[in-house]
Structures are given as structure tokens and as C-alpha cells.
Amino acid sequence: MSCLTMTLGALSNITALGILAKSQVRFRRQTKAPFLLLAGALLLADLGGHMIPGAFSMYLHMAPNQNLDPRELAKDSAGTKAFCRVFGASMVFFGLCPLLLGCAMAAERYVGISQPLLHAAVVTVARVRLAVMLLSSLALLLAVLPLLDIGSYTTQFPGTWCFLPIHGTRSTADTCLALAFSGLGLAAVGLSLLCNILSGLVLLQARVNYKSVKAKKCEPRSKRRTSSSSTWVTSCCSLDVEMMAQLAAITVVSLVCWTPFLVSVASSILSYLKMKILLMEVTEGKSLLGLRMASWNQILDPWIYILLRKAVLRRVCCAFETNC
């Protein structure tokens, strides 16, 4: 199963990257270039997050001592400790990167839709590259702190993955790092959701205003209906709607896939601190289930760009128009 999911994830991300590269060549638009750059960075992070931690996990699956208790496995040797630390760092880095980049995409689209003149003047390709580097550096900083002996990484149940200590005893640094990971992830998902809702409302308001202005014009009924139908298809398949459809799908996937794991981490830490804010008992099995759900984020993300393209959306819109 692990081999199948790794293969599917790799092929999906490579296919989506090819589609984005083709779009970059065909549509050299200043308004779309920042979005394509962020989308490419997101897919690269998804590809790396699927292949690198997946390879580490496969190694632990095939290790001869995989049936040992996870805590004993973590103490097995200096080499095992180093391996677990690198594995845990890759989990934190490739876990945070897609969430932060998805948030940046949502913010970029909100500015582009609500303030197009400001977007054209401020949101340049160079600044988007800088934003990608800063967000990646933030995720990298959090990931490497345990490698500098600020916190630690331990093998988690059932001994096939490494992460920050989220069960049992932990140090103050471990607690702070786990809360920072879950807090940043939940904040990124929440901000993405907010920006997408606001962007959708702006597009809806623009559509309503356009319809009201169009209705005031005196045209024959048949011409008005034809014009309205044609305009609906054009509006439905416009560039803004294409990018908003992709963003909405990315946000939903991140919300469904990542929220259980992020909430389980936060809930476990808060319970350890005896702060009963999240009244949920988090077992090792629930954390493992949350991680498996999160791993599907890297598989589903590329299919958003494969399926929600302008050509596909145009066919869907035309099918709706034919049925009306």
C-alpha cells in the first residue's frame, strides 16, 4: 500500500507540474504569473513531502527491528537516533510548507481580485519568489531546531514514523515546538479559508453588479437571453474563476486532510498541560489515523490542477448551458 500511494503521489505531482509548466509557456500574463509560481512551489513541496518522508517510512517498514517498541527503537543506536531526527525534520518541513504556500496563494488571489491595481503594482514575480523563500525558511527553521538540540524527535506508534513528541513525557521545548507546528498549520488553513470566502464574495458581488447593469439595457428578449448565456459561460470559465476553483479545492483538501492531525497534536499538548480547552482524548492510534489522512493531501493537491483547468471548466460550463 505504501508503494502504491508513493507511486500515485509521484506521478500525480509530476503530471500536475507538467501542466503548470505548459500553462506558464502558453499564458504569459502578469496577473497569473505569481499564482503559477506559488502553485509550482506548492506542487514541488507536495512531491518532496510525498517522496522523502515516504522513503524514510518504507525503510522503517522493512527494518528488521520494526516489531520493537517505538521507544526502544528510538534508543537503539546513535545511527537510529540520527535517522529519526532527519525523518522528523522532513515531516515537519514538508508538513508546514504546503499549508503556508496554500495560505500565500489564497492571500495573493484575494489581493488580485479585490485590489487589481494594487496587485499589479505590488505583487511581482520577484516578491513572490521572496515570499516562497521566507515561508520555506520559516518551516525549515521549525524543522531544524530539534537538530540543534532545541527539542527532539522520537519514533511514533507503530514505529514507522518520527515526529515531535506528542505522547508521554516531553520537555518544555518539545511542547512549544509541537504547539508552534499545530498553531501555524491551523492558522494557515484558517486564513486560507477566510481569504477564499472573501474572494468568492467579491466575485459574486461583481457578477451581481454586472447582471444588474446588463438588465437595464433595452434589448430584444431573445438577444438578451443569448447574450446572457454566452456571458455566463465566459464568466464561468474566466481566469479568476479558474484560479478560485483551484484555490477552493486546495483549501477543502487541506481542511479535511490536515485538520484532524493538527487538532490531535494541539489537543494532546493541551491535555498534557492540563488545559482542557479541547475535550478530546488523543491516543496514538488517532494520531496515526490523522497522519494517514494528512498524507493524502500530497496526492489530492495535484489532481486539483489536473482536473480544474480552464479547458475542463469550459466543458463543464458548456454542458450546464446545454442542459438549461
Please report which confidence band the pLDDT of residue 310 belongs to, taking 50, 70 and 90 as the band edges.
low
Residue 162 — φ and ψ, nearest 5°?
-120, 145
Considering only 17-31, 33-47, 166-180, 190-204, which range has the smallest mean pLDDT?
17-31
User: How many other CB atoms sit within 10 Å of the CB of residue 23?
Assistant: 19
Pair 22, 122: CB distance under 8 Å: no
Q: Is the pLDDT of residue 272 over 70?
A: no
Distance, in Å, from the CA atom of 23 to the CA atom of 20, rounded to the nearest integer, reads 5
Whole-number Cα distances in Å, 16 to 65, 90, 178, 241, 264:
38, 22, 32, 19, 31
According to the model, what pLDDT value does residue 306 have? Answer: 74
Distance, in Å, from the CA atom of 82 to the CA atom of 91, rounded to the nearest integer, reads 14
Considering only 145-154, 200-209, 225-234, which range has the smallest mean pLDDT?
225-234
Does residue 141 sit in helix, strand or coil? Answer: helix
Residue written as cell 519568489?
129
Strand partners, 156: 161
Q: Is the pLDDT of residue 85 over 50?
A: yes
DSSP H or E stretch at residue 161: strand 161-163
Among candidate residues 122, 121, 118, the one with its CA nearest the CA of residue 130:
122
According to the model, what pLDDT value does residue 135 have? Answer: 96
Considering only 130-134, 242-246, 311-315, which range has the smallest mean pLDDT?
311-315
Q: What is the CA radius of gyration of the chain?
A: 23
Q: Is the pLDDT of residue 230 over 50?
A: no
Whole-number Cα distances in Å, 39 to 18, 137, 247, 253, 286:
12, 18, 10, 15, 31
pLDDT average, residue stretch 85-101: 94
Does residue 154 sit in helix, strand or coil? Answer: strand
- More reliable by pLDDT, 316 or 266: 266
Distance, in Å, from the CA atom of 73 to the CA atom of 19, rounded to the nearest integer, reads 43
Please report which confidence band the pLDDT of residue 83 belongs to, taking 50, 70 and 90 as the band edges.
confident
Q: Which residues of 145-179 are buried (b: 16+ CB within 10 A; e: fewer)?
A: bbeeeebbbbbbeebbbbbbbbeeebeebbbbbbb
Q: In terms of residues, how long is the chain?
A: 324
pLDDT in tens, 67-79: 444 445 444 555 5
pLDDT average, residue stretch 4-29: 78
Q: Could you tell me the pTM of the whole model?
A: 0.82
For 314, residues 6+ apart whose C-beta sits below 8 A from its C-beta are 233, 237
Please report which confidence band the pLDDT of residue 176 belongs to, taking 50, 70 and 90 as the band edges.
very high
DSSP 152: -
Q: Is the pLDDT of residue 234 over 50?
A: no
Please report which confidence band the pLDDT of residue 116 belongs to, taking 50, 70 and 90 as the band edges.
confident
According to the model, what pLDDT value does residue 94 have? Answer: 94
Distance, in Å, from the CA atom of 268 to the CA atom of 165, rounded to the nearest integer, reads 10
User: How many other CB atoms sit within 10 Å of the CB of residue 286?
Assistant: 17
Using CA atoms of 241, 247, 249, 253 in order, give the dihedral in degrees to the nearest 10: 180
pLDDT in tens, 191-217: 999 999 998 888 888 877 777 776 766
pLDDT average, residue stretch 254-273: 84
Among candidate residues 146, 141, 165, the one with its CA nearest the CA of residue 74:
165
Using CA atoms of 314, 319, 323, 324 in order, give the dihedral in degrees to the nearest 10: 0
Distance, in Å, from the CA atom of 50 to the CA atom of 10, rounded to the nearest integer, reads 7
Provide the mean pLDDT of the chain.
79
Distance, in Å, from the CA atom of 105 to the CA atom of 244, rounded to the nearest integer, reads 10
- More reliable by pLDDT, 80 or 58: 58
According to the model, what pLDDT value does residue 275 have? Answer: 54
Q: What angle do CA 82, 3, 284 make, to 5 degrees?
A: 55
According to the model, what pLDDT value does residue 322 have? Answer: 54
